[in-house]
Structures are given as structure tokens and as C-alpha cells.
Amino acid sequence: MAAPSEAPVTRQVSGHAAPAPVPSGPASWQPLAAAVAELPVLDASGRPVLFGELFRERRAIVVFVRHFLCYICKEYVEDLAKIPKSFLQEANVTLIVIGQSSYHHIEPFCKLTGYSHEIYVDPEREIYKRLGMKRGEEIASSGQSPHVKSNILSGSIRSLWRAVTGPLFDFQGDPAQQGGTLILGPGNNIHFIHHDRNRLDHKPINSVLQLVGVQHVDFTSRPSVIHV
């Protein structure tokens, strides 16, 4: 499948205004991209990598998750893991997940979710802050997510169990932090920003793939909800 042109997708998507003073259009997003490009993230071995290096040469879908114990984030990343690498390669696009835990949690989270694309952490949440990612939950209807399999009871129980049985007992990030999705690159270009208003407000994956010309993925080959 041919990759689309590199023209920016000039839209800011969030049902409401951004929760922090982030520039409102593509012309003013470039200085923001340049600023966050110089900030470090850590890989699974704790090695620092400049954020901008992740999208310097090609476009990247960058998904910031709330924290690694969040069952909704876990199930969303489980679906990200189902995206074939060949689909991304055809469109010359990289898929990246950013968390905000210690780097020690990256490998266990990948084993848990089956995720094998790129993943890093921003433990001090500096990039989250610069990009205007929200803290706290905004009461807003986000609709039924196609990626959430558990109900709140079963999901919360599993998250608590992972917390108390893990090798490092912590929240694996600030539990009040919300995430978001961006399309960046090549270079210091931001084409698309979505700030999550609450834990259920992530962008449907296929709608993001469509923006960068990646083939749709069938995520329906499993039950939509698991009850206890």
C-alpha cells in the first residue's frame, strides 16, 4: 500500500479545548516539537534517547499512556500490539508507546501485552507536561471504546493484583496523569494532537492509522467485554 504524502494533517482533535496552553495550529506546533525533541526518554535498559530521534527520519504515531498499571491502557496496548509491522513499514511509519514509569517496568509490560513495537518512558513527565497532557479526570462521555475488554470491576482487580504481586510495588506512574496521541515527523513537525480527557478518551486505533495511510486492523476477533 503506497504511503500518503507527507503534508501535515492539520487538525487538533479533542472534544473540548486542550487542558493546557498548547499552541493551537500546525504553524505554532513546530516550536513545540523542537522543544520536546531535546528532552530525553529512557529505553528498557535505562539508556536515554532524545525524544526527537524517534521521529527525525520518518513519521511516527506516538501514544502516551496513563500508567502501566491502568487496565484500560494495558488493553489498548494489547490492540496496538496486533498491528502488523509490515503494515507500518508499507506506510513508512513508526509506532511508539511512551509511559511514565521507571524503565524497569517496560519489559514486564511488553511481556504482559505482547507489544513488540518501540516503547520508552518519561519518568519525570516532562514531555507530558510540555505537550499539555491533562492531569485528573474530566467528566465527559467518551463512548464505548472498541479496545476495552474488561469492565471497571474486573479491570481494577487485575490492576491491583499486578501492583501487589509485581517485583516493584508502585503505581508505575502518576495515577492522575492522562495520556494522548500524536503524529510527528519527519523532523520537528506535529501533524496531529489528541489530549485524552479521561481514561476512556483514547483515540480509536484505526482512526489514527487512517491518518497516516496504514491499513486498518481487525480488532474484533475476541469478546468485547469480560465480566466477573
Residue at 96 is within a domain: yes
pLDDT per position as a tens digit, 176-227: 899 999 999 999 999 999 999 887 888 999 999 999 999 999 988 654 443 3
Residue 202 is predicted with a pLDDT of 86
With cut-offs at 50, 70 and 90, classify the pLDDT of residue 25.
Answer: low
Residue at 32 is within a domain: yes
Residue-range definition of the domain harbouring residue 176: 28-134+144-181+194-210
Domain CATH for 103: 3.40.30.10
Residue at 129 is within a domain: yes
Residue at 20 is within a domain: no
pLDDT per position as a tens digit, 42-83: 999 999 999 999 999 999 999 999 888 888 889 999 999 999
Residue at 11 is within a domain: no
Count structural domains, the chain. Answer: 1
Burial of 40 (0-12, 13-18, 19+ CB in 10 A): middle
**DSSP string across 81-111:** TTS-HHHHHHTTEEEEEEE-S-GGGHHHHHH
Residue at 228 is within a domain: no
Q: Which amino acid is at 8?
A: P
How far apart CA 198 and CA 192 sit, in angstroms, is 19
Residue at 2 is within a domain: no
Strands 11-13 and 190-195: parallel
Residue at 153 is within a domain: yes
